[in-house]
Structure formats: structure tokens, C-alpha cells
Amino acid sequence: MATSKKAKKVNCKTRLRKARPWVATFQGADIVASYAKYFKVDPICAQRDLEAMKASTPEQRKELKQAHDIRKQKEREEKAARFMKKIEKRNIAYDGNKSDPRAILKALKEDRVANPIPKPPKRRCKNCGKVMKKQQFTGLKYCNCGTIQRGRGKAVTAYEIESIFGIENIF
């Protein structure tokens, strides 16, 4: 017989933190019963939580909702300001509503599509023309043909290194 999964009850601090936006957007008739059902607590605990966050009366809930709306509006304005800084940094002509983050983001995306950032060219072996593979240490790149290329200098084959340094069997 299959057992149903039961949601874990969250502790009081977490529940109160999650309950503030829930209470601010609540539009039902009986908040205590709805709170108890939503957060899986008994009605006494629900009433105690609502009193702890000062949302037990309709007037207090109205103040909580106003504070929530103000906070959301401030977050929208901050987001729009961040996007406007990006627009100014990229020199994008934007004449729309400066307080609407969605419109600003749309303008940024349109600019990104119109002016894509080019990828740097892949490094190619000077002997065979194949793409060089990067190794874990920077500056030294190997090719399958046996060529070693340091930085932007000239290509050196493994056989030349053996003859210069007297090292045998590098590969």
C-alpha cells in the first residue's frame, strides 16, 4: 500500500518570514483558518503567529499590505535603475518609460540581438591549421601534429625542443 507524502512543517521563524508576503496578498474571509491550512498548523498556533507579525486585525493587515506594496514598488524602481545604468553604459537610445523594468529589459535584449558580442577567434596551429587545445597552465598550447606554441610567439615542434634542450621523448 502506497503512503502519501506529507509536507514537513517548517519552524516558527521560517514560517513567519514566509507568512508576511502571504498575509499581505491574502484576499479571503477567514484568515486564521486559511493560515492554519496553508502552513499546516493548528488554529491556535495560526492566531499566535498572526498576532506575532501584527496581522490579527483587518487594520493591521491593511497596514501590512501597504508596507508590502511600498516595498515591491521600491524593488521595481531599483531594478529599473539598474537596467537604466546598463542602457547608459551601452549607449542605447531609449525613450520609453524609465520606471518600467520590463520595457527596459526588452530594449536591452533587442540591442543584444542587434549588436552581438563577437567571440574571440580560436587559436590555430601555424603548421597544420587545426584549432589548438588549451592546457591547464596558461600560455602553453599543444597541437596533435607535435607543435608547441607559447603565447603569441613562433611555433616550435617537439623535435626542435628535444634538440635544443637535450630532452628525449617529450610526448
pLDDT tens, position by position, 95-115: 777 777 778 888 888 888 888
102 in any annotated domain: no
Mean pLDDT of 149-170: 57
For residue 72, give the amino acid letter. Answer: K
Q: Measured over all CA atoms, what is the biggest interatomic distance in the chain, rounded to whole angstroms? A: 89
| pLDDT band at 62; cut points 50, 70, 90 | confident
148 in any annotated domain: yes
137 in any annotated domain: yes
125 in any annotated domain: yes
Say how far apart CA 19 and CA 10 lie, in whole Å.
11
39 in any annotated domain: no
For the segment 12-30, what is each residue's pLDDT rounded down to a tens digit? 888 888 888 898 888 888 8
For residues 67-97, one letter each, b for 16 or more C-beta atoms within 10 angstroms of the residue's C-beta and e for the rest, the string is eeeeeeeeeeeeebeebbeebeeeebebeee
61 compared with 94, residue with greater pLDDT: 61
170 in any annotated domain: yes
| pLDDT band at 136; cut points 50, 70, 90 | very low
Domain count, the chain: 1
Mean pLDDT of 116-131: 74
Structural domain containing residue 171: 119-171
Give me 81's grid cell.
535603475
